[in-house]
Structure 1
């Protein structure tokens, strides 16, 4: 299974909606997705957020974003773990 950047953005929006509003089951989103195909995308999401925090720290603004970014990283980790068990 090949995941494109557009697919990732679509899934990111879906997940943001789910985490914000609880409108869709995570399991229904990820059925049929192979864990190995998703792992690079999950790793990339985490790395992007960590890099953002580093950038904000260098600007002295880390405290404004650290809780938000750590929550997002945690949510990505939960999704990754969920995918691995399907």
Structure 2
């Protein structure tokens, strides 16, 4: 037995359904954007860490060369 709905009630149900669908689409878009931003942020952090590690390697090499050079200079003849 079908339920008879007035035109106002039917329009309200359609409006609520459309609003719910829009909220769900907005939430999905928000999650996708937050995921993309988190990925880019982690990628940037990794790039910064790699750059710092490379700088440490260069600095360590230069420091090692300086120490070796100084140790050779201070040797008695």
Relative to the length of structure 1, the TM-score reads 0.31
Q: Higher relative CO (CA 8 A, sep ≥ 6), structure 1 or 2?
A: 1
Relative to the length of structure 2, the TM-score reads 0.34
